[in-house]
Amino acid sequence: MSSSKQQATLPFIGNLLQGERNAITDVAGVTVGHRTLSDGGVQTGVTVIRPHAGDPFRDKVPAAAVVLNGFGKSVGLVQLKELGVLETPIALTNTFSVGTVATAQIRDCVARNPETGRALPTVNPLVFECNDGYLNDIQRLAVTEADYLQALQAAGADFAQGSVGAGRGMSSFQLKGGIGSASRRVSSRQVSSHGGPAPSGAPSSASCGGCHTVGTLVLANYGRQPQLLLAGHAVGDRLAALQAARKPPPEKETDPTEKGSIIIVVATDAPLDARQLRRLALRAGAGLARTGSVFGHGSGDIVLAFSTAYTVPDQVERPMPAVAMLHDGLLDGLFQAAADSTEQAILHALWRATPVTGRDGNHRAALAELLPASSLSC
């Protein structure tokens, strides 16, 4: 199925407006870049999210994180929790490449700010991870610092989804997982009742005067197939039967425990402080749960939320922003947007993924080749 036809038949989650791209980059200034490594047993990569076009070490971005289940090895969360700001782009990669990518972030910051760690404070790298070891030979430590820089330089408003970047080797629900993204727009005072059943017909941002945008990007590497829900439809047993009928059938996975992870990044242009952003991040868990996740024992489920409405200067001599934050009583629409865009982004990750064969011949089929989106009544 062509990408345009697939886009037209994908289930549309919720009744809120979507942004122009239905992606995290509908939040003005946010860009995304990938570096994909695909060579036999190496199936991995790096994805970078830039919160704005400047240097976040100098112009820090308000942010907060929520750990839904802490089976993860991310870097940078301790200081983020204490200070409530980002000071590097956000990087996603595989578990064993966290150190390499963090080093690349530090070197890049030093190159831009030569006194970092001397006359200037040290920098807090921010790297999230999932374990792609089923498809990727993770022990080869294939990701390099140059791969991070290439992803950073490639960042733009339009970007690929599915089996790309950090999502190249990821698995979800015993299918191919990866990168997915979506956005929703909402009035600051009430949830819009408009929307559309398909992105091609959904109202654009132009029809939502005075709205705020919430955009989400996921790195999907979680889930047990019997629990999978797609737009409210329980499809696990159906998918298992479809896969069993394939020649040859996939290898049975006998361990029932949840061993995957998901990283969810939520961006908004609404003026929120770190406390409010933590509340927003928590609502992404509602969208995750709708897909069948129970935040299992071995799953590292982490959400980061940030606002582009203002920045925080690095030096005390620079003026602090004078920003009127949204009242907490006006956040419900944003909460729904976070939940809906998270669920939509996960669906995009699954249906836009392509099949991948990697380490030791391990294979993940793509959802689109087993279950066309048009087969679901939405």
Q: Which residues are catalytic?
A: 261, 299, 301
Q: Which CB contacts under 8 angstroms, 24+ apart, belong to 321-325? A: 323/271, 324/271, 325/271, 325/272, 325/273, 325/276
Three-class SS state of 18: coil
Name the residue type at position 74.
S
Give CA torsion, residues 220, 32, 76, 323, to 10 deg: -120
Gap between the Cα atoms of 309 and 280, Å rounded: 15
The number of C-alpha atoms within 13 Å of 166 and in the hemisphere containing its C-beta is 35
Gap between the Cα atoms of 374 and 144, Å rounded: 40
Report how far apart, in Å, the C-alpha atoms of 6 and of each of 2, 123, 174 are: 6, 42, 21
Orientation angle between helical segments 332-352 and 274-290, nearest 10 degrees: 50
Name the residue type at position 210.
G
Tokens matching residue 254: 């006998």
